[in-house]
Structure formats: structure tokens, C-alpha cells
Structure 1
Amino acid sequence: MKNYHEPLQFHQKTQVTSVSFEGLIIDTDASLFDWKKGDSIYDIHPFFEILSSFIEDHNGGSESYNFPCIHFEHGDDERICDVSIQIDKDISIILFDYTLKYSDLNLIAQQKNESILLSKELELKNKYLQEKEAFKNSFIANINHEIRTPLTSILGFVEVLEKTNLSFEQEELTRIIKRESKHLNSLIDDMIDISKIESGTLKVVEERFSFHTLIKGFEESYTKISEEKGLVFETKIDDNIQEYVIGDRTRVYQVLNNLLNNAFKFTEEGSVTFSISKNYQRTNKLNLNFKIEDSGFGILEENIPHLFERFTRFNHDKQISGTGLGLAIVKDLVDLLNGEIKVSSTPDKGTAFNIKLPFKFEVTKNTTQERKKKKYTLPKTKRKFRILVVEDEEITQFLIMKILISKGTFFVDIALNSEEAISYIERRTYDLVLMDLSLSKTDGFQTTHMIRKNYGDPYISEVPIIGFSGKASETARDKCLRSGMDDFIAKPFEQEELLYKITKQIAKKAAD
């Protein structure tokens, strides 16, 4: 939609409004409501909160949405409108005033029989639930970002603290802080996954990965936990299972990790056994069975049918934390992967979960070689590398500065917003830019676009840029790459991951 410097009135019962991606009104013909340029569209009516989720999912193309029968109030003016939303370079909102039409229809509806009225009521309730669901998903996405930002700082500074000279008691306290922070992060992940599953936005991503490496990771992690709790942990894997398989590694990890975590959480003595075997193999298709057995508290038979319901917890020991979402997510993910899950349990003797999951494998490729993470080193130079951090959260600024300056090979400059970032890169040459995606006014995507498109100087336009955000998803990463960034890192991040990505981009740039 173009900017309407001279508002074009399509119809006396129509209002056309142009809105920026920040939610501010750029222009409006104000033919129905006296909205003003610069007003926030979100303050005008709760309905417009749905724009947040549309903007987040926007992939750069043109998208349209239509909503009937929305009740608007502005001052003394009340109207019932159909709403058309078009998202392109900015957001176009068109209101069609059908107040009289809907009033007439309502009068007719009142004359209909009770069954028609009931049908209309159900339709309106369904519409209300859809709007409520859209608002909820938008709210969860925003809360996700707001929580992950301080959590990044907590985990980051704990890692910095761990590298200092600590007493035994201080080491124990930092270990507890780190453990509980990671637990909080996992609870956030549970909330986001439930929201994605409900909205149908959680997709299966098939990739080739080392299955044996995945299982070895579980073996190493839970062996340490078993030693801490004084339990026996045993892993059994069929030797005939292929080294590399094709499937959604992230979701498989999530299912197995949730079940193993539960097994250790509810087992005070005895053992936990993790077994993997083949169900069948045909052409390039493979079906595996995962069995996780423990000698823990067990579950009463009458409770087993409710085991996968959300917010269900049968053990009331307050020392055992959790939201009651873990097994519900496991069941949803297994269904999403076209698998099966069964459980058997005896109180005070233990529980066994059996999961069947389908995979594929490549029959023509040599899968004996394990892919390794490529190593990168900073170019040899007598000077320090200069990094620009574009971030408006003071605590995150300090954390990144602390990490980078402690290495002794970096200078760090801080820009609070897009304007400062542009000013800095015009005056200094940078080896890399760390760009927060959720900057106020002009966000990280738009700032990156300006850097890439507005300068002929390659030292500016081709500087490596890494985006970072609390919205940890493949969608965020893909949007970063499409906007011209070179990489993405999610909050909360570990020091090693941040340094690896910075080193990688500087090394790649030097090799060009």
C-alpha cells in the first residue's frame, strides 16, 4: 500500500489506514474514526493485537487477512465493521462500515427460531475463541522474548563467574543458579512448544544426522546425573542401527530427553535403562523402538489414561518441580512424528515407556564418517578486532563486553539503537556487528537492510552481521539470513557458542 499523502476515499462507508511494522499510523483518511497519524494501532482496539503475530510470521511477501463483524468504539462513535488487512512493505488496514447491515441482520435473526439463534451464538463464540487464541499466541511470543533477555544475562554471568577463583561453597552456589536458570529456560520452551502445537505452526523438519552421536550425548549427560543420585544407568543400542538416519533430530531429542529426565526425576534408588532396537527396515525406511525403564515411584493404573493430559501431576512431593507439560508435549510430538507411545507401570516398582518412531536412511551413501563441527581461528594480526554491539539492554551489553574483552583480542563499541549503529559504522571500520533483532523504533532487520543497501563502501556494506534474539526459532534464523545477516544466535547463549560464531564470521570474511 502506498502512502496516502492526499487520502483517497474509496467509499463513504470505508476508511483506509496505513500502519508501520512498529504499529504506528502512517496515514489515514479518517472517514469513519478520527484516528491520528503517529497513534499506536494497538492502543485503538484490542483486536489489532493480532498484527503482532502476523508481523512475526511475515516472510517478505504479500499477505491478506479478512475479519468480519468487528465492533469498534472511538469516543462516542460506535460502528460494526468488516476488516481487511494487507501486509507488504507496510500494513494496510481497510474498514468497511456495515453497521446498518449487521443491525438489520440482527433484527432478522431475532425473528428466527431458537436453533438458528443457537447456531449464530456458536459461530460468534468460535470467532471469539479464534481471536483469543491469536492474542494468546502473540502474548506468549512477547513474554518469551522478555524472559529470555534477562535469562541470557544470568546464565552468561554465571559462566563468567565459574571461570574465576571460587571457594567450594561458591562453586556449589553457582552450580545451583545455573541449574535453576536452565530449568526456567526449559519451562519457557515448554510454553512455546504447547503454543506452536495448538496453533499448528510446529513443523517436522527432516535432516540427516548422526543417530549414534545423539544417543552417545544422552549416555554422557545422564551418566553424570546417575552418579550424582547414586543410580545405575545403562544404555543398550542395537549394533545394526545405521550411523546416520533422516528425521527431525530436534523433536526426537526433545521426546527422549523429556522421558529420560522424568525417569531420573522420579527414581530415588535403583536404575534407569535406555534401550534402542529395530522394529523393521524396508528399502530406505526404518522404524525404531525406544524403551525407557526406571525403578521409581510408579503410577497407579487408574492414573495412566490421564498421564498425557496437560498440567497433570500425580506425585505431590513439592521437592519435585515441573509444570505438568512435559509428557503432554511428548505425546503431541510423537503424534506429529507419526509415531506411537505406550506406558506400563507398577506403583513403587517403576515405569516403562515404549516409543516407536519412523526414520529414513540413505542407502547409497557411505555413512561411516561422522560430520564434525568445522574449526575456525581468527586471522593472525597485531591489532585487536573491533566489534560493534547493537543492543538497548544494559545488562546484555555488559555481559557481551565482559565475554569479548576478557579474551584480549577484541575492542567493543556499544550502540543503543539503529541511528547510533549507523553513525558508528560510518566513522569506524568494524570486523563484525552483533545486532539485536528487537531494537526500538528501527529493528535489527531494517538496520541490517540499511547497512547492506545504502553504502557503496564494502567495509560498511559487507561487514559480517550476527543477529541475536530471545525468539529462539528456525523462523527467526531464516528471517535473519533473508534480511542480509550472516548468522543468528538465540538467547540465552553460551560463551563458547558466541565466540565460535564470531570467530567463524571474521575468519570467513578474511578468507574472501
Structure 2
Amino acid sequence: MTPLKNLATYYVHLLSRLGLVKFSISLAAAIIFVALAIQMSVTFALTGQVSAVDLIRSVFFGLIITPWAVYFMSVVVEQIEDSRQRLSKMIRKLEKMRSRDLQLTNKLKANINQLNTEMDEREKAETARRQAIVKLEQEVKQRQQAQQELEEHSALLRSFIDSSPDLVYYRNEQGQFSGCNLALEQLVGRSEKKLIGLTPYDVYPEDIADKIVETDHQVFDNDEPLTYEQWLEYPDGRKAFFELRKVPFYGRNGNRLGLLGFGRDITERMRHQANIEKANRDKTQFISTLSHELRTPLNGVVGLSQMLLDTPLNDAQRKQVNTILLSATTLGNIFNDIIDLDKLDRRRFSVAMEPMDFNALLTDIETLTEMQLQNKGLAFNFEQIGPIPRSIVADPTRLRQVLWNLTHNAVKFTEVGGVDLLVKAQNLSEQEVQLDISIKDTGPGIPEDQFEQIFAMYYQVESSKSATGTGIGLSVSRQLIRAMGGDITVTSEEGKGACFTISLAVKLDEIPDEAEQIDHPPLDILLVEDVELNVTIAKALLEKLGHYVVVAMTGAEAIEAFDPDQFDLVLLDIQLPDMTGFDIAKHLLQQYDKADLPPLVALTANAVSSRQEFIDAGMLDVIHKPINRNAVVHCFNGVFAIGETLSTEPDSSPKQALSRSSQPILDLDLIEQFCHQIGEKVLTDSIALFRQVMPDYLQVLETNLYAKDQDGIASEAHKIKGAAGSIGLARIQRLANKIQSPELPAWWDNVEDWIHQLSHDYPEDLKLLDKMIDDLSIEQY
């Protein structure tokens, strides 16, 4: 096939090259030639000879066949050409297609490569995704574990915080609660859910909220922790004293989120302090008793010595009596130091500024100092510079005590030479004068480095051989003078003595030239006193003033001798062998009607108790021992309402001029009406309820007292007053009324004692009430 194909290709190529005519001629010549050759070869082969006919016949055959061959070949060539051209077109198309296919193939390869790359990348991404999923699952699992651990820790922490008795809470910067523990929920009476979003003003009373918000602002403004103490109130009214600490707290980004608050209940600490104060009161009572027991014989010595000095005596006797008086006075001043020391320890020390005869004070100090120096054979010099005022406003007892301490020390430390008393006065204004009182001695002196130490409690100069005594006089003296607005200074040179100077600015006052005038008629007085010496002195003084005196030396004698129609006044010693003056007063107030009782006045050597304590016990006034004329006259003038509207009838009894009320323990009329009109059972049920609620009332009352919450004290006392009054506890009602009345004089000084008395008296009063109800039941039966 290949040669034929090549021949056909050659034939077509030749036709195309020669053209149809030349090709036809050439083809005819070739056919003729071929025909001749074939004819001649065949003829020659068959016959052995070639004839002309054969040649002609071959030529003729060639000529005849040539057109048909040319035509046939032309058609074939044309068809072949057409086929070739179509084939060429097809080849070109195929080439284009091939080229396109090649492009497509290349593109497909590129796409395949890209797809393979993308598939690789997807496989990598899928692998990474699967790895990420695995990692995420691990992280989720770890997070779940961490969340579980966190929840467990949170639950543990919450349990720990809730089990803490301390307050724990936190507020945001807007002052709103964000959370708290169980202790705070109990304090405010709200759950944490209800508390969240509230401000302190929504939770606490306004006064407490003000302090809380103020301290919150301090924490935020200063951006630092703050610790302070505050009373907070429970829903039932109980108050607790908390030590509160607030600290700012921050988020992870450093932004401040609010504050954390912690509160520790230190009420027990306050109670401990109250116990300490009670121990101080017990100590005070002991000192009071000791003072009374020591002063009682001492006052007798002082009084008798003064009475002896008014009688004719020789020089030796007068000197001996002066020595006795001096010794008694010295002991009295030591007692004053001890009492003042106790008051300083209890922080209840105070001075009573009042008009006093300054000249008389200086005369007494001069006399006593000169007496001491005479016993030691020393010189005394008293000098006054400037117009010394006769009357000033000061505390006469304290000033006398200080001057005595300083002059006594000067005498005690001086063995050779003497003592100088220099009083200098300089007018500061028409109503005020500067006093400088100097006591100079010629004793051993004081080292300069000990000038301040000698004013310390119990300190004594080590180099002094005469340093005997309590060592509290100078310390108490300086504090007394400073309490009056002055000071004590010292200058000294060792071996040449010391000089103590009192500098005090005082106001001037006018006093009458004579002793206080008696503005009351002669009185029939029942004097209740158990010490024979005191009886002698008091009886002599009272009779000298024109009064008639009946003496009772025990409480039983006083009650037996008392007749409200016979006596105009009762002077009650507080400490007696069988009972106290308070017991006598209580008995008389219960036994007699208010209009029939004469005034009761306390007569005591107790320098610790305040005048208000005696007034609260039903006495109108108090006279302190040793008694003197002016004190007695002043007291009697005040007791019998001098300056008030009295009866002008000559025979008018002093006790009728006095308006006072008896103070029964029970309201008998109310109780009887209650039993008769409402019924005994209702009353007994009310008493049982009172017994039940009273301890809670007292607990709240005491916490308010520790908190110094005046309104809280008054509010709770008002409840007690109403409850006590409704069942006839008159004494408890009166006590509660005092406690609920802050406007009373010295209310803060007495309210603690009233509350203590309230808690002590109400069980006994309830027993009396029960007994009375039983008696009424028996009578009705």
C-alpha cells in the first residue's frame, strides 16, 4: 500500500506541477509507450515478430484510452485534491484542535497541578483542622475540668466565707452591693440576691449609711485601704460594734471595680471594757468605803481639834492641838490624792468651778504651813504682791489640796532655812486676774533633768533622803491645776532648794462680808449617825445654829424614832452598822405619803459619789463631812426653797414648803384596778410576757449603751417604760423614764448606773408584784 500511496501522491503532484494539458500529453505518450511496449512484448512473445499493425494498434489504443485515462485521472486527482484540501483543512483544524487541546491539556495540567496543590493544602488544612479539633477538645476538656475545679473552689470559698462570723461584702464604684456572705445577710436581714444592686441608704438607717458612704468615698478618693470602727444594728434592734476594713479591688486590666469590705464583731471587746469599767466601779466603791471608814474617825479628830482651839488653852496645849489638827489635815489631803487618782484612772475626773473666799484659803494655808515649820524650827515668810482678790471663781477643794501638797512637800524636804510663800496677782481685765503662787524652799533641790519626771505618777527624786510618801501628789496636783486652766512649773538648783509656781487665770467674784445668813426657821432634826465623835460634832454645830436634834445611831433606831409630824428634816449617814442611808430613805418613801415626809439630806464622808446619786435615791441634798457651819446653812437654805414662793404664815412648817413625791415600787391602784376590772389572768399573762421580753430589751439597751447611741437608748427605754407601766412596775417605769430622757442634767454620767439598777431591780420588783397579786387573790377568795 505504501508504494501505491506514494505513486498516487507522485501522480497528483505531477498533475499539479505540469498542468492538465502537459500532463495529458505526457500521460498519453506514456500510455502509448506502455501499450507499444506491452503489445510488442506480447506479440513478439506469441508470434516472435512485431508487425506495424501491432504498432498502430498500440498507438491507436493509446490514443483512445488516453483521454479516458486522463479524465479518470483528473477526476481522481480532483477528488484526491479535494480530499487533500479537505484533509489539509482537517489537518489544520486538527492542528488547531491539537494546539487547543494542547493548551487545554496544559491548562488542565495546570488546573490539575493547582487542584493537587489545593488538595494538598486542603489535606494539610484538614489535618490542621483535625489537630485543632483534637486540641480544642482537649482544651474544652481541660476547661471543663478547670471549670469544675473552679466551681469546687468557689463552693469551698463560698462555704468558707459563709462560715466566717466576719462580714464580707463588695460594692461597685457606684456604691451598689455586688455580693456578700451569710454574716452580712443576717446583719441586714436580706438575702444576697435581694441585696445586689442596693446602696447603703437602701439597707441601713441614714446615720449609719452616712458614715459608710463617707468611708467608701475616702477609699475611692485616696485609692488605699481604710480601717475604722462603727456600730451596726441587727433587724431585732441589737447593736454590734464592728471593726471594718475596706480595700479597693481591680480587674485584670488594672481598672478599679469597687471595694471589698470586711467587718469583725468586737462587741465582746467592748463588753470586756465594760467589765473593766465595772471593776473600776467596784474599786471606786472600795475607795469610797475606805474613804468613809478612814474619814469618819479623822473628821472627829478635826472637829474636836477645832472645838478645842475655841476653848481656853495654854501654849503647850494649843501647840499639841494644832499638831493634832495638822496631822489630821495631812491625812485628809492624802485621802483626796487617792480619790483623785482613782478618778483620773476612770477618766471621770472633773473640777467644780464656783465662787470661793481666796483670802480665807491663803490664811488657812499660811496657818498650817507655819505650824509645820514651827515643829521643825524653820522660818516662814508669806508675801503678797499686787491687789490680791478676796473672792475668785475656782474649785476651792482642789486648789486647797494643791496648795497643801506643795507647801507640805516644801516643809518635808527642808531641814535648814525655811519656806517662802509668795502670792502675786495681776489684773488681766476687770473680771479676770492672773494668779502666780510660788512656794520656795531651801531643801536639797531637784536635778534639772528631773523637772518633768517629778510630775510623773509615783516618781520620787532618787537623791532625796526625805522622799517619803505616795509619790502621787505632784502628778495629781498638776492635773488638777491644768483642769482649772492653769499649770505648775518648777525651777531649782541642786543644794539650794526648789520653787514650784502655780500659774492660774481666774475670774473675780463677790462674796458677802459675813458668813452665809440663816434664812430658815429652827428645825426639829433627826440625826442618823453611828460614830460618837461625829454625833458630838454635828449635834453641837446644829444646836449652836438653833436647831433641836434627836440622835439615832442605827437604821433600826432611825425607823423606830421617825415620826413625820415630829421632824422637819432627817440627816442620814450613808453607812450604818445595820443598813445604809439609802435603805432608810427607801423604807420611808415606801411607808409614808409624799405630803407627810420631811426632807431627807445625806450626811457622808464619801467624796467619790456624785450629788446626783443621792438625789436619785430620794434625798434632796448632801452634806459632806467634816461638816461646817456654812455648808449646813447653805444646804438648809437650799432644801427649804429659799428664793421660791413659800408660805408666809409664821407657824408654817418647813416640810410643808417643800414639794416632793414619794416613789413607790409598785403602782398599787393600777394593779388593783387591773385585777378587779380586767381580770387576774390577763395581768399574770402580761407579767409572763414582760418576763419573757425584758432580757431582750435589756440586751438591746446595753448594746446601745456600749454604742453611745443616745436615740437607741431612749427608744428602747421607752419600750421598757410602757411595758413596765402597763403592769404596775412604778419604780421600773421611773427608771426607764430617766433613761429615755437625755435632756436630764448629767444624763450620760448617770445612764449607765440607771441601766444597771434597772437590770438589778426588775426581778425583785416582779417578785413583789407576784406577791401582791397572790395577796389580792387571797383577799378576793
Shorter-chain TM-score range: 0.5 to 0.7
Deviations 1:379-418 (A, max 9, x none): 68xxxx864332355665577568778999856342511x
Alignment match of 1:416 (pick from 538, 547, 554):
554
Q: Which amino acid aligns with 1:491?
A: K
- Corresponding position: 1:436 with 2:573: yes
Of stretches 402-411 and 143-152 in structure 1, the one that deviates more from structure 2 is: 402-411
Structure 1 or 2: more strand by fraction:
1
Deviations 1:73-96 (A, max 9, x none): xxxxxxxxxxxxxxxxxxxxxxx9
Aligned residue pair count: 382
Aligned to 2:526: 388
- Corresponding position: 1:208 with 2:355: yes
Q: Which amino acid aligns with 2:552?
A: I
Equivalent pair of 2:601/2:622 in contact (CA under 8 Å): yes
Aligned to 2:383: 235
Q: Find the aligned partners of 1:426 and 1:386 in 2 and give their Cα distance.
A: 11
Q: Find the aligned partners of 1:275 and 1:424 in 2 and give their Cα distance.
A: 54
Deviations 1:57-110 (A, max 9, x none): xxxxxxxxxxxxxxxxxxxxxxxxxxxxxxxxxxxxxxx9xxxxxxxxxxxxxx
Q: Find the aligned partners of 2:349 and 2:480 in 1 and give their Cα distance.
A: 9
Q: Percent identity?
A: 26
Q: Which amino acid aligns with 1:235?
A: E
- Provide the aligned C-alpha RMSD in A: 4.8
Change (3 A) 1:246 1:168: closer
Q: Secondary structure at the match of 1:338?
A: coil
Change (3 A) 1:139 1:445: closer
Question: How far has the Cα of 1:251 moved from its partner?
Answer: 2.6
Change (3 A) 1:132 1:345: same
Alignment match of 2:428 (pick from 266, 281, 284):
281
Equivalent pair of 1:405/1:412 in contact (CA under 8 Å): no
Give me the TM-score of the superposition, normalised by structure 1.
0.59
Change (3 A) 1:350 1:500: same
Aligned to 1:328: 475
Question: How far has the Cα of 1:195 moved from its partner?
Answer: 0.7
Map 1:337-486 to 2 at 5 A: 337-361=484-508, 367=510, 370-376=512-518, 387-392=525-530, 396=534, 410=548, 412-414=550-552, 416-417=554-555, 419-426=556-563, 429-439=566-576, 443-448=580-585, 451=588, 454-455=591-592, 461-462=597-598, 464-472=599-607, 475-476=610-611, 478-481=612-615, 483=617, 485=619
Map 1:99-178 to 2 at 5 A: 132-156=279-303, 174-178=321-325
Q: Find the aligned partners of 2:288 and 2:627 in 1 and give their Cα distance.
A: 18
Deviations 1:123-166 (A, max 9, x none): 99978765654443333223222322333344445566677888
Higher alpha-carbon Rg: 2
Of stretches 438-447 and 335-344 in structure 1, the one that deviates more from structure 2 is: 438-447
Equivalent pair of 2:516/2:630 in contact (CA under 8 Å): no
Q: Find the aligned partners of 1:120 and 1:433 in 2 and give their Cα distance.
A: 45
Change (3 A) 1:162 1:378: farther
Aligned to 1:193: 340
Q: Secondary structure at the match of 2:563?
A: helix
Alignment match of 2:624 (pick from 485, 490, 505):
490
Change (3 A) 1:125 1:440: same
Q: Find the aligned partners of 2:537 and 2:300 in 1 and give their Cα distance.
A: 6
Q: Find the aligned partners of 2:398 and 2:526 in 1 and give their Cα distance.
A: 35
Question: How far has the Cα of 1:342 moved from its partner?
Answer: 1.9
- Corresponding position: 1:312 with 2:450: no
Aligned to 1:31: none
Q: Secondary structure at the match of 1:461?
A: coil
Q: Find the aligned partners of 1:404 and 1:247 in 2 and give their Cα distance.
A: 28
Q: Find the aligned partners of 1:430 and 1:411 in 2 and give their Cα distance.
A: 9
Change (3 A) 1:238 1:344: same
Change (3 A) 1:389 1:127: closer
Q: Which amino acid aligns with 2:572?
A: M
Q: Secondary structure at the match of 1:307?
A: helix
Equivalent pair of 2:603/2:624 in contact (CA under 8 Å): yes
Give me the TM-score of the superposition, normalised by structure 2.
0.41
Q: Secondary structure at the match of 2:455?
A: coil
Q: Find the aligned partners of 2:496 and 2:474 in 1 and give their Cα distance.
A: 20
Q: Which amino acid aligns with 1:467?
A: A
Q: Find the aligned partners of 1:427 and 1:267 in 2 and give their Cα distance.
A: 58
Q: Which amino acid aligns with 2:330?
A: H
Aligned to 1:52: none
Question: How far has the Cα of 1:235 moved from its partner?
Answer: 1.8
Q: Secondary structure at the match of 2:452?
A: helix
Q: Which amino acid aligns with 1:469?
A: T
